[in-house]
């Protein structure tokens, strides 16, 4: 079985083809970082325009290089949400047009479900049920994954997502957008405990997150230093990153105790953070559990995760009609293929 995956939820145009026997055949990604970095964030209209300009050529390239066509593509999976309306519409329109022309099934995929399932691409030991921490630019969620399409929410951020906070702090430190990776590299040169930042909700028994107060505290600290130098910035970055990691590890430990699950998945852009992986691995190892995460090139938005999720749903006989379109606010725990 072979599935074409289309990802256009935000500012990455991802086109991939996944084969049930051969695995990843191609993973085409067009990044819009250069377009949006000058604005310090994603401009929705520019994002949609870029998807529209590049998606056809990426699909043609993927089909050509993998010798794929309507004769051996068994389904088309596309991101229906959550995401930016204009960007989602581009991917949905192309996917539905091809599915109609080729007379093959179409599968709407929740963007966060794609992230959640991505560790399965490189680890066949991961099976349901498991606990998942989804951490990206727009989401911070703790999920129990019971089966394909069956997910329960344990906790989420009440305000900013962790990836969003990383990027905003990076910009305040003078780093280019998106600055999450650059901030982590800067933190490597900082000294721990030079600054003490708040850890909202860390002592609360619930599994909710809050990062707005932490973000404000860090930004106020940056702006309070009149002659901030490189070492000051590195120390702030280190203290901020250490604080974020402590919060995430703390909440994951509580979630493990609540769910009694010993398999923990971390996925989404922030899951590529090496320090976070290290501390989560240490925490769950003490509980005789296992940590799973995707390859780094599959942590950010990509078409492979959409194609793979589509394949799993298609195998279960779950697909949609051509009337199905986009769901900009689609929550992973409300997936329904009835």
State pLDDT tens for residues 275-293: 999 999 999 999 999 999 9
pLDDT in tens, 198-227: 999 999 999 999 999 999 999 999 999 999
3-state helix, strand, coil in the chain (%, to 5): 45, 20, 35
If one counts every other C-beta atom within 10 angstroms of the C-beta of residue 146, the result is 12
Give the position of tokens 């749903």: 313
Whole-number pLDDT of residue 176: 84
Q: Are strands 140-147 and 290-292 parallel, antiparallel or unpaired?
A: unpaired
Q: Each residue of 86-108: pLDDT tens digit?
A: 999 999 999 999 999 999 999 99
Residue 179: per-residue pLDDT: 86
In terms of DSSP H, where are the helices of the chain?
33-37, 44-65, 85-102, 111-117, 162-172, 180-187, 212-224, 230-259, 274-286, 303-315
Q: Are 211 and 162 in contact (CB under 8 A)?
A: yes
Residues 40 and 42: their CA atoms lie apart, in Å, by 7
CA distances, 278 to each of 54, 158, 249, 266 (Å): 37, 26, 10, 12
**pLDDT at residue 141 is higher than 80:** yes
- The pLDDT assigned to 68 comes to 97
- pLDDT tens per residue, range 170-180: 999 999 878 88
pLDDT, one tens digit per residue, over 228-273 is 999 999 999 999 999 999 999 999 999 999 999 999 999 999 999 9
Q: What is the pTM of this model?
A: 0.95
How many CB atoms are closer than 10 A to CB 11?
Answer: 26
Over residues 75-81, mean pLDDT: 98
Catalogue all structural domains in the chain, each as residue range(s) with its CATH number: 2-116+298-334 (3.30.420.40), 126-293 (3.30.420.40)
Using the 8-state DSSP alphabet, how is residue 334 labeled?
Answer: G
What are the tens digits of pLDDT across the range 44-66? Answer: 999 999 999 999 999 999 999 99
pLDDT at 338: 46
Residue range 3-37, pLDDT digits in tens? 999 999 999 999 999 999 999 999 999 999 889 98
């Amino acid at each position: 079985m072979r599935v074409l995956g289309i990802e256009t939820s935000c500012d990455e145009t991802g086109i991939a083809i996944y084969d049930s026997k051969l695995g990843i055949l191609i993973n085409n990604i067009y990044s819009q970082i250069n377009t949006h970095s000058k604005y310090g964030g994603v401009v929705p209209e520019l994002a949609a325009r870029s998807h529209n300009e590049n998606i056809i050529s990426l699909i043609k390239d993927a089909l050509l290089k993998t010798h794929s066509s309507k004769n051996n593509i068994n389904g088309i999976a596309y991101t229906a949400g959550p995401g930016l309306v204009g960007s989602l519409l581009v991917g949905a329109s192309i996917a539905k047009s091809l599915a109609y022309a080729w007379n093959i099934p179409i599968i709407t995929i929740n963007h966060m479900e794609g992230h959640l399932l991505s560790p399965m691409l490189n680890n066949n030991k991961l099976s349901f049920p498991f606990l998942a921490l989804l951490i990206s630019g727009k989401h911070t969620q703790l999920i129990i994954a019971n089966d394909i399409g069956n997910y329960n929410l344990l906790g989420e951020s009440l305000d900013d997502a962790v990836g969003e906070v990383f990027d905003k702090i990076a910009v305040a430190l003078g780093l280019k957008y998106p600055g999450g990776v650059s901030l982590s590299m800067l933190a490597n040169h900082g000294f721990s405990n030079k600054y003490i930042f708040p850890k909202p909700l860390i002592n609360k028994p619930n599994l909710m997150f809050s990062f707005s107060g932490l973000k404000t505290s860090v930004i106020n600290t940056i702006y309070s230093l009149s002659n901030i130098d490189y070492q000051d910035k590195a120390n702030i970055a280190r203290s901020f990153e250490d604080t974020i990691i402590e919060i995430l590890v703390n909440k994951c430990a509580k979630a493990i105790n609540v769910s009694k699950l010993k398999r923990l998945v971390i996925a989404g852009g922030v899951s590529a953070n090496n320090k976070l992986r290290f501390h989560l691995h240490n925490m769950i190892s003490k509980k005789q559990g296992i940590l799973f995460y995707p390859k780094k090139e599959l942590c950010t938005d990509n078409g492979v995760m959409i194609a793979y999720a589509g394949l799993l749903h298609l195998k279960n006989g779950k697909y949609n009609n051509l009337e199905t379109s986009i769901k900009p606010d689609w929550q992973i725990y409300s997936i329904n293929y009835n």
